[in-house]
Amino acid sequence: MENNLESLKNREQNFKTLQWFGSHLELIDQRKLPTKEEFVRCFSCEDVALAIKEMVVRGAPAIGCAAAFGFVFCVREAICKVDPTEKKIVFSRKDIETIISLVKTKKERLLKSRPTAVNLAWAVSRLEFSFLKNIEKNHEELAHNVEREAIDLLSEDVKVNRLIGSFGNSLIPEKAKILTYCNAGALATAGYGTALGVVRSAHFAGKEIEVFASETRPFLQGARLTTWELLKDEIPVTLISDNMCGYLMNKKEIDVVVVGADRVAANGDVVNKIGTYTLSVLAKENRIPFFVACPLSTIDLSTDRGVDIVIEERCGSEVRGYDSQVWAPNEVRVSNPAFDITPHHNISALITEKGLISPVNSRNLINSI
Ligand code: MRU
């Protein structure tokens, strides 16, 4: 049994969150899951920005990967503007300046698509670095090297998540009941997941764990996405509504909480899906370890504290209903902050690809990067 599970650990994911086809980026449409498995194809920088904004693709690392390919389109579109006949020339100084300025304008569109997850800006600046490094090369080489960088970023994400998973596994007891929130899984990354990477590693190590997926109002990432991907991997999962978490923790039915992150400030405060803070308080009250699994690319040392991070406010219709279902009066005023701030002192450890950070404070964070 254990050997069987161990061999499953390294197999290919049975679905692809994002797939690059050279001419376009294909995204599984996360708004439609679990009822429909449909795909959206992006052929331009604008298509990618819209897919991020409208939550076709979501989850900090997946947003970063999508934005990387969005940047590839920015570069292609800019090159095409100055060299429409594709003569594949080495550009003149004037052409280079035009390309840089076009890319700069287009990249702003990507950066504005969602403000909170730092992986978006991280991926765009990594791609921009590669773009500027290759700007003196000819048309073909420039486009090729920027594309290569995005492909590398995508495959590195899966490797990073597997490392997070194996470090996190050391924190998970046999037969643990693990509470998770939102979706920090393969759907939120290029594959394997961060919080669900820890779950996967513990499961594939034969620990007989059970996951409690909290539904995650209002966008229901826990109910729709986390349960869908865990069922696909045959990992035992029980769905609960958000208001059941405290009761279960208090009854000692949860051993450990593992969540993901959208941005970690320099002092260790974590911004993650709205409701994460509440869970951290409940975990502290009930003396349950509370872990945050995240790649180093989610740590933003340029932001001092969680309160300095811009929290995205989303449309009120997401709280009034979901899809075609509406359960509140259309005219009711709605507040819809998409994320909240968990203070660093509520977090037992950060789980990164380089190991554990605990206690979570600025000194340990700086030393770990
Ligand atoms: O609004 P979303 O669905 O993009 O929010 C996602 C989360 O909050 C995740 O927990 C976070 O991005 C980590 S994903 C590995």
Q: Residues 122-145: pLDDT tens digits?
A: 999 999 999 999 999 988 899 999
Mean pLDDT of 98-117: 96
Q: Buried b / exposed e across 230-247, counting CB within 10 Å, b at 16+?
A: beebebebebbebeebbe
Return the pLDDT at 10. Answer: 67
Q: Give the model's confidence band at 13: pLDDT under 50 very low, under 70 low, under 90 confident, else very high.
A: confident
Judge whether residue 3 has pLDDT over 70.
no
Q: Residues 67-83: pLDDT tens digits?
A: 999 999 999 999 999 88
Ligand 1 atom nearest residue 63's Cα: 4
Mean pLDDT of 189-199: 98
Identify which of 234, 189, 236, 193 has the alpha carbon closest to the alpha carbon of residue 213: 236
Q: Give the model's confidence band at 7: pLDDT under 50 very low, under 70 low, under 90 confident, else very high.
A: low
Return the pLDDT at 9. Answer: 65
Q: Buried b / exposed e across 327-340, counting CB within 10 Å, b at 16+?
A: eeeeeeeeebebbb
Q: Which residue owns the Cα nearest ligand 1 atom 10?
A: 260
Q: Count CB neighbours of 109 within 10 A.
A: 16
The residues annotated as belonging to the active site are 262
Residue type at position 71: F
C-alpha distances in Å from residue 74, one per residue of 44, 47, 80, 335: 7, 11, 10, 34
Return the pLDDT at 8. Answer: 66
Residues constituting the chain: 369
Domains in the chain with CATH codes: 2-160 (1.20.120.420), 167-368 (3.40.50.10470)
Beta pairing class for 177-180 and 263-265: unpaired
Q: Residues 213-257: pLDDT tens digits?
A: 999 999 999 999 999 999 999 999 999 999 999 999 999 999 999
Could you identify the residue written with the tokens 């590693």?
201
122 by DSSP, 3-state: which? helix
* CA-based end-to-end distance of the chain: 38
Return the pLDDT at 247. Answer: 98
Residues with CB under 6 A from ligand 1: 58-61, 117, 182, 184, 188-189, 194, 221, 260-262, 272-273, 338
As a whole number of angstroms, the distance between CA 226 and CA 194 comes to: 12
Judge whether residue 4 has pLDDT over 70.
no
Mutate to test the pocket of ligand 1, among 273, 276, 350 (most ligand atoms within 8 A of CB): 273
Judge whether residue 2 has pLDDT over 80.
no
Q: Where does 43-171 show beta strands of DSSP type E?
A: none
Compute, in angstroms, the gap from residue 61 CA to the centroid of ligand 1: 8
Identify which of 140, 152, 147, 153 has the alpha carbon closest to the alpha carbon of residue 74: 147
Q: Residues 330-340: pLDDT tens digits?
A: 999 999 999 99
Judge whether residue 90 has pLDDT over 80.
no
Mean pLDDT of 97-109: 96
Bridge partners of residue 368, in order along the sequence:
none
251 by DSSP, 3-state: which? coil
Mutate to test the pocket of ligand 1, among 28, 221, 342, 352 (most ligand atoms within 8 A of CB): 221
Q: Residues 348-358: pLDDT tens digits?
A: 999 999 999 99
As a whole number of angstroms, the distance between CA 293 and CA 202 comes to: 14
Angle ∠(323,329,331) on CA atoms, nearest 5: 105
Ligand 1 atom nearest residue 60's Cα: 12
Could you identify the residue written with the tokens 């998540």?
161
Question: What is the pTM for the complete model shown?
Answer: 0.96
As a whole number of angstroms, the distance between CA 202 and CA 199 comes to: 5
Rama region for 59: left / alpha / beta (φ>0; ψ in -120 to 50; rest)? left
C-alpha distances in Å from residue 296, one per residue of 50, 176, 267, 313: 26, 26, 14, 25
Return the pLDDT at 194. Answer: 98
Q: Which residue owns the Cα nearest ligand 1 atom 8?
A: 273
Bridge partners of residue 28, in order along the sequence:
39
